[in-house]
Amino acid sequence: MVSIPRATGAGFALGLMWGAAARVWMRLISTDPEFSWTGTGMILGSTAVCGAALGFLYGARRAGRSRSWRLLGLCWLFVFAGPGIVFLPAFLLGGLLHLRQIWCKVIGAAAVACGVLLLWILNQQEPASVNPATMYGGFLLLSVALTAGAAELYLPRPARRREPAVALAK
């Protein structure tokens, strides 16, 4: 059984790693790479805290807690404000990729594809001289990783074990 504090800590670490990967990707696709500690700190801090929220959701779901905790996932909307908006479809619907039903997988894949399309459309307005494999490949990898965390918004609680009924002796 996974404990909620352990899951929260793991979520924090995974969110921090996702934020670091996103920061490296942003640096690689930037035509004017300005590095600021403030911006990097905001990215890493917000993704780590939001990763901790998803880790908490994982632990709470595994412990059979109420579904109302899923509202914690809304903290990611802060991360996607501004330029991060291209990741929003992958977060909101991409988690459906991890469900069993085929229609859920199709919607989840379409959401990730919509994010790639949105990035392509935004790139057409201000064409960048960046390697397309780096831009779209990196975005796709980050989006797919994000869907794993976003799945906590959709996954059902595990089935509870029922204690066997004790037969009464007559």
Contact between residue 116 and residue 143 where contact means Cβ atoms under 8 Å apart = yes
pLDDT of residue 142: 96
pLDDT of residue 19: 95
Interatomic CA distance for residues 8 and 127, integer angstroms: 40
CB atoms within 10 A of CB 16: 17
Write out the residue range of the structural domain in which residue 147 sits: 4-153
Per the domain annotation, does 165 fall within a domain? no
Per the domain annotation, does 102 fall within a domain? yes
Per the domain annotation, does 168 fall within a domain? no
Task: Domain count for the chain, please give it.
Answer: 1
pLDDT of residue 128: 67
Per the domain annotation, does 29 fall within a domain? yes
pLDDT of residue 105: 95
pLDDT of residue 162: 61
pLDDT of residue 79: 85
Per the domain annotation, does 59 fall within a domain? yes
Averages of pLDDT over runs of 10 residues in the chain (170 residues) are: 90 96 91 82 93 93 86 85 88 93 96 93 79 92 94 84 55
Per the domain annotation, does 77 fall within a domain? yes
Per the domain annotation, does 170 fall within a domain? no
With left for phi above 0 and alpha for psi between -120 and 50, is residue 158 left, alpha or beta?
beta
**Phi, then psi, of 77 in degrees rounded to 5:** -60, -30
Per the domain annotation, does 163 fall within a domain? no
